[in-house]
Amino acid sequence: MAPLASPPQGPVLWPHHWRTVERLRERFGEDARFSALIVGGSLAKEYGREDSDVDVVFIATPEEARRREAAQDFGYFDQADCDYAGGHVDSKVVDLAFLRDGAAGRRGRPSSARFPSSRT
């Protein structure tokens, strides 16, 4: 994954959220199972709070997506990358087909959420 641009200004991401995203990029940036990381949830929608969790979506390769589908393993939860009280990372693992389906408003996948204001 490419290095991230500078943190956005305003209440989108507080510095501790930005550090968490950077740690995730460092941890998973060279992981061949994933091609991208999308920051979503309340932080991307600009109604997050200082104590909000960090919601991310990992974009998996087709092989990783098939493996996870077979195992019904679509999530990732972690507190180690957060350096603020109560902080945690809550994420989903999807493939590009899911994003296309979600963008079209289709259901039947682990989540039907859309990603209109997420940051990659």
How do residues 26-83 score in pLDDT, each as one tens digit?
Answer: 999 999 999 999 998 888 888 889 999 999 999 999 999 999 999 999 999 999 999 9
Give pLDDT, residue 58: 94
CA distances from 60 to 3, 49, 57, 88 (A): 18, 28, 9, 21
Q: Give the three-state DSSP class for 101.
A: helix
**Is pLDDT above 80 for 120?**
no
Nearest to 111 by CA among 40, 49, 45, 18: 40
Give pLDDT, residue 113: 47
CA distances from 44 to 7, 33, 62, 79, 104 (A): 12, 24, 26, 19, 20
* CA gap 46, 49 in Å, rounded: 9
Record the pTM: 0.74
